[in-house]
Amino acid sequence: MTGKLLYGANVFANDIRQHYLRYGGKGRPVILIPGITSPAITWGFVAERLAERYDVYVIDVRGRGLSSTGPDLDYGLDSMAKDVIALAQALDLDRPALLGHSMGARIAIRASTSAEASFSRLVLIDPPVSGPGRRPYPSKLPWYVDSIRLSVKGIDAGGMRTFCPTWTDEQLKLRAEWLHTCYEPAIVTAFEDFHKDDIFADLPNLSQPSMLMVAGRGGVIEPADEDEIRSLYPPMDIVRVPNAGHMIPWDDFDGFFAALGDFLSR
């Protein structure tokens, strides 16, 4: 079994072109859904480890990477969730697990409650818990917009370090290379939806085994949020990665996989 990238490909699903990267090729299928400004390739280092045991498909969410983009698309949460459902169907995947980070975790929740029979289990990595009447998401919109605009003009790893000071040179180079593919209106819509669309309302409708992974230094999910999440979906398995910020595997790669354990194959 190999954890190497097998190929990248495109599929027409939910009326758009969806680009994905496939790693490993053996074991249970897993769809990895990145966050708000993370094209699929930036999660390759995680996918390679996962692919030692699983058949991993890392997707470019619409408006990012090599998937469809432009002013005519809807970038709301419901559309992104329908993309994942349609992609799984188009690839004829047998009840894949969904592993989503940040925005990707919100997409996973919405997709699984919309088509519960389509997915076997969920891993929700530090999803934004902001929403109407809730505290705002700790990151600010200009952080995303300013870095995207610089990347559209051309930015190197040194320039990107201003935005991601703890990242390695390799990670910064990859982000500098790919961030320009993040369509600014798509990112603005997703960020605004963090505050308009209350994902807590979906939680009682979950039916799959689910894990919530919390960044100990992320500031996104607080103990009170964990309590509310558990009250809404008591079977939720909640784990913490104490020494990681919101970008958990970037900050603590081994801690990420220690927290994940064998959840995907139980």
The catalytic residues are 102, 222, 246
Structure tokens at 34: 């990145």
Task: Find all residues with CB under 8 Å of 122, minimum gap 6, and list them.
Answer: 97, 98, 99, 100, 108, 109, 112, 206, 208, 209, 210, 211
C-alpha 108/C-alpha 127 separation (Å) is 10
Q: At what angle do helices 77-90 and 184-196 cross, to 10 degrees?
A: 110
Residue 202, phi then psi, degrees to nearest 5:
-80, -25
Instruction: Encode burial over 30-55: b for 16+ CB neighbours within 10 A, e otherwise.
Output: bbbbbbbbbbbbbbbbbbbbbbebbb
C-alpha 79/C-alpha 95 separation (Å) is 20
Whether 40 contacts 104, CB under 8 Å: no
